[in-house]
Amino acid sequence: MMYFIIAAFIILLILMILLSCISIVPQGNAWVMERLGKYSDTWKAGMHLKTPVLERVVRKISLKEQVADFEPQSVITKDNVTMNVDSVVYFQVIDPKALTYGVERPIAAIENLCATTLRNIIGSMTLDETLTSREKINNETIKVLDEATNKWGIDITRVEVQNITPPKSIQEAMEKQMKAEREKRAVILTAEGEKQSAITRAEGEKESAILRADAVREERIRTAQGEAEAIRAVAEAQAKAIEMVNSVHPSKEYLSIRSMEAAEKMADGQSTKIIVPSDLQDIASLATIFKESK
């Protein structure tokens, strides 16, 4: 009975040892293994068997992309303006062995390296350049960080400068400048509107004047055409009358009487000049005939 209990205990102990040697690495992770204190292997996702006593898991590492949000760093620009810069770094472990044996505290190392890089980059830029060149700062920072962290088995995938906070006095000055710019734009827009309105009114007045001038010209043309038609009609009537008179062969006395009537009409007018015929005898005779006709 005693031997049976001891045998069962030994079997149970062996089973426990065997079970403890079975390791399952989750997906997206990697385990760094050592044998007798030296690196032996890197286990990927799946089931693995570990040699009891001789092997041990040194480090369990996530292969997923990770985010490190660092505290704001104090930096000084080229024009001696002190500001706080808040950055976020996205990274991924690509070599678990290099990470395990290359750097002791990777996150702290990345943070310090990022702060130093930002100080160097922003230190060569003015305040205005810093506020308008975030993409440039991000690209230069990721370039420096990626080059430095490759030997640690870390790939820097993205760097984002979240906040750039200038001193309060600079913020107040910037707000005043922005307000002045907004007021300037409003004045310009108002002036542009008034200018466009004046141009529109001027064009309307111009078109109205053109239309009035066209109307006056048309009226004058029509009047002139009417007068011409009247003169033409009178002339045609007179021509017909003369033609009719000539057709009946009027006497000399009739022609003299008509000439006398024309002279009377000329005398009654406003003209200050009277043309006297050279043949006074004819006029006298005409006067006699005119008197007898009365």
Return the closest-CA partner of residue 106 out of 120, 119, 96, 116: 96
The CATH code belonging to domain 66-166 is 3.30.479.30
Which residue's entry shows tokens 């395990």?
Answer: 100
Of residues 287 and 224, more confidently modeled? 224
Tokens of 5: 């209990």
Sequence spans of domains, the chain = 2-62, 66-166, 168-249, 250-294
162, 134 contact by CB (below 8 A): no
pLDDT the model gives residue 245: 63
Return the closest-CA partner of residue 136 out of 166, 164, 155, 113: 164
Return the closest-CA partner of residue 62 out of 117, 104, 100, 113: 100
Q: How confident is the model at residue 256 (pLDDT cuts 50, 70, 90)?
A: low
Distance separating alpha carbons of residues 208 and 210, to the nearest angstrom = 5
- Answer whether residue 211 shows pLDDT above 50: yes
Residue 55: CB partners within 8 Å, gap ≥ 6?
33, 34, 35, 40
Tokens of 258: 């008509």
Distance separating alpha carbons of residues 41 and 29, to the nearest angstrom = 14
pLDDT digits (tens, 9 = 90+) for 270-279: 544 555 455 5
Average pLDDT over residues 73-83: 85
Distance separating alpha carbons of residues 11 and 18, to the nearest angstrom = 10
pLDDT digits (tens, 9 = 90+) for 105-125: 888 999 899 888 888 988 888
Of residues 193 and 17, more confidently modeled? 193
